[in-house]
Amino acid sequence: MTTLDTILIARTASEANDVFGIFSAIVNKAGETIYSKGAGRVKFDSNNVPDEETTYWAFSWTKLLTTVATLQVVERGQISLDEEVETLLPELKNPDILSGGADGNLVLTPATKKITLRHLLTHQSGIVYDGRTPLLMKWRKSRGEGSLSFCGDVIKAFSTPLVFEPGESWAYGGGLDWAGVIIERLNNTTLGEYMQKNIFDPLGMRHTTFHPDSRPEIKAKLMDTAMRTPDGKLVPTAPWYPADAVTDAGGIGIVTSVGDHIKVLADLLKDSPTILKRSSVDAMFTPQFSKTGPQALGLMNMPFMHENLTGGEKALGKLSFGLGGLVTLDDTPLLPRNTLSWGAMPGMAWFVNQEQGVAGAFGTQMLPPGDKNINEVIGLFIKEAMDMTRA
């Protein structure tokens, strides 16, 4: 039994009331699986242990898949990264920037810059999630609306004012969802159908879909979602995304397994990847803004998005964003320099480090977001994964 086994078994023991089920996997550059284990439970009413085919509402893991799909259409010359998107996305033509006036009223000011595809992929567009943005929620309320970011309809969810000029800051939001719409319109297909043909089938991913209700074999393997109550207990709760979503949301809509997701990460480690050109993979690891500019400040002002991956790195200039995830510019308490990584709302995480030749994926279904216990376990997983490949 490895140190990681011991940690995960102890933390997922039902009597511990600590974390729910986990499945995690680690691969090396040769494509060899060096760790692949489950711990805890898949369902509250059974003791079945998660395995590589256990599926999850993976929320922001979707963003990596959509980034890959977008880079594929860029490789084909269908669009360029710095192309303005308003022709393909007329919904984003002539956007307004939302701000608060001195009198407390909402102010809408026409944007002076255009949104590009790169902005959408790197959270520099000004399109943000409403639930984490009080100003945008005030705008929603003025329209008689509640939060719509997770409503299952991309156009409805993200046809909103911007919160800054495109390219002038960083804030997490629905840019990748709009990128998915671009892929659909360029290829006259749904995002799921595009990914099935160009990502899932080439990599042998059999447990990934935007619509689990139409794939009973995937739905049957879904892990229950666990919610931590104020008194610390774990209770079952409904997922925070609708199973009957009307569109394929490229930022948050996927259901997948760790066994499938690790295949994507393993491909990014290869000298000759299957799903992208090597130059496109290299671009994914390339910082998309300066170390200390307003975008870097915006990223550091949202520490809850990445502190579980970096070990709480707070130094400006050590973190940036690439194409598809966070990029470490220097060693952090957990991730070494030049690591591409990201997480997902229900306590999930992945990372790829080409120099060390290692990638890992950690799957669970734990709410609320940012749960302290699951973040601790993610940190231990990353530490042990790095130690395994340094040995």
Instruction: Tell me, yes or no, if the pTM score tops 0.75.
Output: yes
Say whether pLDDT at 390 is over 80: no
Pair of tokens at residue 246: 């009307």
Q: Looking at the predicted structure, is the pLDDT value of residue 306 above 80? A: yes
Within 155-270, strands assigned E span 225-228, 234-237, 254-257
Q: Cβ contacts of residue 245 below 8 Å, gap of 6+?
A: 152, 153, 210, 211, 253
Cα–Cα–Cα angle for 65, 71, 75, rounded to 5 degrees: 145
How many angstroms separate the CA atoms of 364 and 42, rounded? 9
Q: Which of 54, 62, 61 is nearest to 20 (CA)?
A: 54
Residue 353's pLDDT is 98
Tell me the sheet residues that pair with 100: 106
Integer Cα distance of 55 and 224 in angstroms: 10
Cβ(229)–Cβ(235) under 8 Å? yes
Answer yes or no: is pLDDT of 132 > 90: no
Q: Measured between alpha carbons, how far apart are the two ends of the chain, in Å?
A: 16
Task: Answer whether 375's CB lies under 8 Å from 382's CB.
Answer: no
Give the residue-averaged pLDDT of 95-121: 94
- Tell me the backbone φ, ψ of residue 222, rounded to 5 degrees: -65, 130
Average pLDDT over residues 97-105: 87
Question: What is the band of 101 on the pLDDT scale with cuts at 50, 70, 90?
Answer: confident
CB-based contacts of 332-335 (< 8 A; 24+ apart in sequence)? 334/309, 334/310, 334/379, 334/382, 334/383, 334/386, 335/309, 335/310, 335/311, 335/382, 335/386
- The C-alpha atoms of residue 284 and residue 241 are separated, in whole angstroms, by 27
17 has a pLDDT exceeding 90: no
Inter-CA distances, 291 with 90, 106, 190, 381, Å: 33, 32, 37, 28
On whether the CB atoms of residues 102 and 110 are closer than 8 A, the answer is: no
| Least confident window among 52-56, 100-104, 230-234, 345-349 | 100-104
Please, are residues 23 and 260 in contact by the beta-carbon 8 Å criterion?
A: no
What would the pLDDT profile of 135-190 be if each residue is shown by its tens digit? 999 999 999 999 999 999 999 999 999 999 999 999 999 999 999 999 999 999 99
Does the structure show a pLDDT above 80 at 255? yes
3-state secondary structure of 389: helix
Query: For residue 391, what pLDDT band results from cuts at 50, 70 and 90?
Result: low
pLDDT computed for residue 42 by the predictor: 98
| Cβ neighbour number for residue 221 with a 10 Å cutoff | 20
**How many angstroms separate the CA atoms of 327 and 351, rounded?**
10
- DSSP secondary structure, 186-217, as one string: HHTS-HHHHHIIIIIHHHT--S-BS-GGG-HH
> pLDDT exceeding 70 applies to what percent of the chain?
100
Residue 102 burial (CB count, 10 A): 6
Averaged pLDDT of the chain:
96
Model confidence pLDDT, tens digit, residues 186-224: 999 999 999 999 999 999 999 999 999 999 999 999 999
What is the set of domains in the chain, with CATH numbers?
A: 3-61+206-390 (3.40.710.10), 74-186 (no CATH)
- CA-only gyration radius of the chain, Å: 20
